[in-house]
Structure 1
Amino acid sequence: MAKQRIGIYPGTFDPITNGHLDIIKRGLRLVDKLVIGVATNPSKDPMFSLSERVAVVERETHDMAKVAGVEIDVMPFDELLMKFAERVGADIIIRGLRAVADFEYEFQMTGMNYQINPNIETVFLMADPRYQTIASRLVKEVARYDGNIEAFVPSMVASEVVKRVNESKV
């Protein structure tokens, strides 16, 4: 029997966007199991706690796993990505690319990761053109200025972001 191919899709997911969900859906075609690693990354000053982000990612990907027939595990992590990948037995890291600026950063990260463990491949998926401009940071900024974010995130996520923004204004 062939070894199960395990992939990791890491990110902060603060909040999860339609772009993230597109990469997850497409990444499911490449693996037998997908671990979505929700990073702590306090330097990004997250709007949502780690446990809230994990719960939202679980909720938003639940049906995807069923439809694709691929197991999805959502796990928080606070360590080097390659250490996390080794711990969960991953063969592949899945990353989304939106623009040239993403490529430069990802190119450096892939080089470093390869030096740490050359047995784990990084696979890049180009963002669907509809989602190339979406970034969690921009979604939060639009919401803070009372802009409509429903085209960028799932509807429940939009409500949660707006609620959190309104709570912070009080």
Structure 2
Amino acid sequence: MSEHVAIYGGSFDPITNGHLDVLRGTLSIFDRAVVAIGTHPGKKGLFDFGERERLIRQVIEDEGIKASAVEIISFDGLLVDAARKCGVKAIVRGLRDGTDLDYEMQMAGMNEMMAPELQTVFLPASPSVRTITATLVRQIASMGGDTTSFVPAAVQRALTNKFD
């Protein structure tokens, strides 16, 4: 029997409880997940790729997720190209609300035109994490706010260190 693997792409700057929710959902459907961290040379994130990768690995360990079920890669082009390179057949996208659905449906349609062999799978975020965005987490943390409800403990520590 062949292994079912999906790619889950994003900036993960930083990984939030929302991302973790989608990753758990992905692993409930697929045998393995490739977490594809988007990196763009002209766009500086709060955390560099190495920091994001370490945080994701730490969160996976802390949450009891089997490390062998998650591969972490970087990509700086199209997600469909990264998916093809990894040999996956599905792209997983998390949905928080109707606005996400409208955008993600457009993206799925474009991806299907570029890579018809790939399926897009939408996973609705759990109600407790629907409002969380990495952008808001970064803003709250930069102003000294408490982000403990929005990110795993390892990320909270990293944010505190970054802004101290």
TM-score range for the pair, normalised by the shorter chain length? over 0.9
Residue deviations 1:106-148 (CA, integer Å, cap 9, x gap): 1111011000111110000101000000000000111111111
Q: Deviations over 1:34-69 (max 9, x none)?
A: 111111045664100011111111221233126xxx
Q: 2:65 matched to 1:64?
A: yes
Quote the residue 1:133 is aligned against: 131
Name the CA shift for 1:43/1:127 in 2 (closer, same or farther; >3 Å): farther
**Structure 2 counterpart of 1:51:** 50
Match of 2:113 in 1: 115
Q: Which residue of 2 aligns with 1:28?
A: 27
Q: What letter is aligned with 2:45?
A: P
Query: What do the CA deviations read for 1:52-109 (whole angstroms, capped 9, x no partner)?
Result: 111111221233126xxx6211111112111100000111111100011111211111
Relative to 1, partners in 2 of residues 1:17 and 1:43: Cα closer, same or farther, differing over 3 Å? farther
Give the superposed CA RMSD. Answer: 1.5
Does 2:163 match 1:165? yes
Distance 2:19 2:145 in 1: 20
Q: Which residue is equivalent to 1:106?
A: 104
- 2:85 corresponds to which residue? 87
Residue 155 (structure 1) aligned with residue 153 (structure 2): yes
CA separation in 1, counterparts of 2:103 and 2:41? 19
Per-residue deviation, 1:10? 0.6
- Name the % identity: 36
Distance 1:43 1:131 in 2: 30
Structure-1 separation of matches of 2:118 and 2:87: 9
Runs of 4+ deviating beyond 2 Å: 41-45
